[in-house]
Structure 1
Amino acid sequence: MPRAARPYTTMNEPLTWILAGALTVGVVVLLLWLGRRRQQRARDAAARREAQRMALEQAEHASRAQRVATELERQTARAEAEHMREIETGLAQRLAEQRAAETALEAERARAEQEEALQREARAEAQRQQAVADEARRLAEERAEAERREAERLDAERRAREEAEQAEREAQAARQAAEAAEARLAQERADAERRAREAAEAAARAERERQAAEQAAREAAAREAAAREAEAAAEAERQAAEARARAAATRELRADETLVLVADDSKIVRVKISRLLAGQGYRVALADSGEQALELMAAERPHVLITDVEMPGIDGFELTRQVRAAAATAELPVLMITSSDDKQDEARAAGVTQLLGKPYSEEALIAAIEAARLAVRVPA
C-alpha cells in the first residue's frame, strides 16, 4: 500500500506536523531573543559611552563607574552565555524527541504493514477455502442433476410404455367405433337422401310462393309509386300556383332600390367601386372594416355585400360567417374580392356566394350584382 493510503501513517501525520511546528516556533523565539539581546548590547554600549563621557566630566566617579560598567558587562555576558546554553539544550532535547517520535512512527508503519500482509494472506486463504467449498458444492449439484435426469428418463420410459398400451387400447376402441359409425353412416345416408327429396319438394313449393309474393310486391310498389307521383304532381302544381300568385303580387327589385354594402379597408377600392355602382344607378353604403359593416347592416339590411378578404379586426371570412349566422342576413348574397388563388375552399366553407379574383373586370362585378338583384322580389 502507498504511504499516502496507510491508515497508521495518516493517523500520526498530525503529531509530526505538531512537532515540526513546535521546533519552528522555538527557532523563531530564539531568533527574536537574540535580536533583542543585540539591541540590549547596543543600548549597553551606548550607556558605557555615556558613562565614559560622564567619567571625563566627573573624574571623581570615573573609577567607580568603570567598575560598575565592567561588572555589568561581565554579568551580561554570563547571562547571555547561560541563556544560550539553555536554548541549545532545549533545542537538542526537542530534536531528540522528534527523532524518537519519527522512530516510533516508522515502527508503527512497519507493524501496520506486517498486519496488512497478514490480513491479505488470511483473505487469500479464505478465498481458497471458499473456492474449494464452491467446487464441492458444484460437484454435488452436478451429481444431483445427473441423478434427477436419470430418474426423469426412467419415468419418461415408463410413461411411454403406459401411453403405448393406452394408445393400443384406444385404437382397438376406435376400430370398433368406426365399424359402428360406418353402420350409422349408411343409415344416416339413406335418411339424408329421403330428407333431400322432401326438401327439394318443399323448396319447389317455396319458390312458387316466393314468385307469387314478388309479383304481389311489384304490383303494390307500382301502386305506391303511382300514388307518390300523383302526390308530387299535385305538390308541383300547388307550388306553381303559389309562384304564379307571388309573381303576380311581386316585382323585380329596381337598380335604384338595390343597396350594395362595400366593406374594404382600402379607401381607393371603396371609392372606385362606389363610383362604378353609382354610375349604374345602385345605392351604395361604404365600410372600412368588418365591424363597421355589421353596424351598417344592423341599421339597414343591404341586398348585396361586397367584402375584401384581409381587413383589420374582423376579416372577410369572419364577416361572412357572422352574416350567415344571423337569421335576417342568412340568405344575403356575398361577393368576395381576393388576390389569392388558394382561398376557394375557405371561402366556400365560410359561405361566400361568389369569389372574384384581382384584378377583376367591372363587367363581372356588375353581372354578379345584377344576378343577385334579379333574384330578389319585392311587393308590387
Structure 2
Amino acid sequence: REAERQAAEAAARREAERQAAEAAARREAERQAAEAAARREAERQAAESAARREAERRAAEEAARLEAERQSVEEAQRLEDEERQAVAAAIAEESARQAAEEAQRRRAAVGVAKVKTPEQTVVMVADDSRVVRVKTGRLLTAHRYQVLMAEDGQDAGRQIEKAVPDVLVTDVDMPGMDGLELARQVRGNPRTAHLPIIMVTSDSDELRIQARAAGVNVVLGKPYPEEQLIAHIQQLLSNSLRA
C-alpha cells in the first residue's frame, strides 16, 4: 500500500508539473503573440505615417510646381504685352515721323500746284485679281478718271518708275511684291514719296497699323462703298494740292 501511495503521489506530482509546464508554455506563447501583434501594429502605423508624409510632400511639391508654372505664364504674358505695346508705340512713332517727312517734302516741292480735272488725273490700280481690276477700273472710268492697271506690286513699281500716277490704289496680298512693300518702295523714292496711296485690305487692326507705318494715306476695308473710294481720291488730291 505504501508503494502504491508513493507511486500515486509521484504520478500526481508529474501531472502537476506537466500542467504547470503547459500553462507556462501557453502564457509564453500568448506573450510572444501579443508582442508580435503589437510589433505589427506599430509597423503598420509607422508605414501609414510615412505614406501620409510622402503624400503630403508630393502634394506640396505639385502645388509649388503649379504655382511656379502659373507665375511663369503670367510673367511671359506680361513681357509679351509690354513687347506688343512697345511695337505699337514704335509703329505709331514711325508713322508720325513719315507723315511729318512727307509733309515737309511736299512743302519743299518746287512749283505751284495746278488743279487737275478727273480727265487729267491718272489713278493706278494694283491688284492681282483681274475681276477687281476691271471692276475698279470701270468705277474710276465712270467718274472720268484715267486708269492704269498693274497685275501685282512689281508691275506697279515698274510702271511708276516710268510715269508717276496721281493716285495709287493697291491691294495688300499680291504675289511677288505685296502692297505693303510697294508702299514702302514708293515712299522710299524721293521722286514718288508724295504719291497718295489708298490700300484695300481686310478689316484688321494689325494690317492697318502696318499700312500706316508703310506710309499708306487711306486704308479701306473689304468690301467698301464705291462712293467712298471716289471721295478719298478727291480728298487726297485736294490735300496734295494744299501741301
Using the size of structure 1 for normalisation, the TM-score is: 0.33
Match of 1:301 in 2: 164
- Return the letter of the residue paired with 1:283: Q
- Pairs within 5 Å for 1:200-349: 251-342=114-205, 343-349=207-213
Bigger RCO (CA 8 Å, 6+ sep): 2
Question: Is the partner of 2:191 in helix, strand or coil?
Answer: helix
The change in CA–CA distance for 1:253 and 1:375 in structure 2 (over 3 A counts) is farther
Residue type of the alignment partner of 1:313: G
Q: Deviations over 1:237-296 (max 9, x none)?
A: xxxxxxxxx8xx654111111110100000000000000000101000000110100111
Distance 1:250 1:318, change over 3 A: closer
Alignment partners' CA distance in 2, 1:284 and 1:274? 6
Q: Deviations over 1:48-102 (max 9, x none)?
A: xxxxxxxxxxxxxxxxxxxxxxxxxxxxxxxxxxxxxxxxxxxxxxxxxxxxxxx
SS of equivalent residue, structure 1 residue 284: strand
CA contact (8 A) 1:259 1:304 kept: yes
Post-superposition CA distance 1:301-360 (Å, at most 9, x none)? 001000000000000100000000000111111100012423111111111101000010
Unpaired segments ≥5 residues, structure 1: 1-245
> How does 1:27-42 map onto structure 2 within 5 Å?
none
Instruction: Give the direction of change, closer, same or farther, for the CA distance of 1:375–1:271 in structure 2 (3 Å limit).
Output: same
Equivalent position SS for 2:229: helix
Which structure 2 residue ranges, 5 or more long, are not aligned? 1-110
The residue aligned with 1:211 is none
The alignment partner of 1:332 has SS state of coil
Equivalent position to 1:368, from 215, 232, 239 = 232
Distance 1:345 1:259, change over 3 A: same
Alignment of 1:1-380 (within 5 A): 251-342=114-205, 343-377=207-241
Q: Secondary structure at the match of 1:347?
A: helix
For residues 250 and 338 of structure 1, what CA distance do their matches in structure 2 show?
Answer: 31
Distance in 2 (alpha carbons) for counterparts of 1:250 and 1:299: 21
Distance 1:250 1:334, change over 3 A: closer
From the superposition, tell whether residues 307 and 250 of structure 1 become closer, same or farther in structure 2 (CA, over 3 Å): closer
**Correspondence for 1:94:** none
Distance 1:261 1:359, change over 3 A: same
Q: Based on CA coordinates, which of the two structures has the bigger radius of gyration?
A: 1
Q: Offset of 1:375 from its aligned partner?
A: 3.1
1:207-228 per-residue CA deviation (whole Å, 9 max, x = no partner) reads: xxxxxxxxxxxxxxxxxxxxxx
Deviation at 1:300, TM superposition (A): 0.9
**Which AA in structure 2 matches 1:260?**
V
Quote the Cα distance in structure 2 between the aligned partners of 1:323 and 1:377.
19
8 Å contact from structure 1 (residues 265, 289) kept in 2 = yes
Query: Which has more helix, going by share of residues?
Result: 1
Letter in 2 for 1:370: Q
CA distance in 1, matches of 2:175, 2:202: 17
Q: Which amino acid aligns with 1:375?
A: N
Which residue type is aligned with residue 277 of structure 1?
L
Provide the residue aligned with 1:149 in structure 2.
none
Q: CA deviation at 1:374?
A: 2.2
The number of aligned residues is 132
- Given the two structures, how large is their TM-score scaled by the length of structure 2? 0.52
- Structure 1 residue 299: deviation in Å? 1.4
* 8 Å CA contact retained: 1:320, 1:334: yes
Q: Which residue of 2 aligns with 1:126?
A: none
Classify the secondary structure of the residue corresponding to 1:261. Answer: strand
The 3-state SS of whatever aligns with 1:328 is coil
User: Would the aligned equivalents of 1:287 and 1:293 in 2 still touch at CA under 8 Å?
Assistant: yes
Find the counterpart in structure 2 of residue 144 from structure 1: none
Matched-pair identity in %: 47
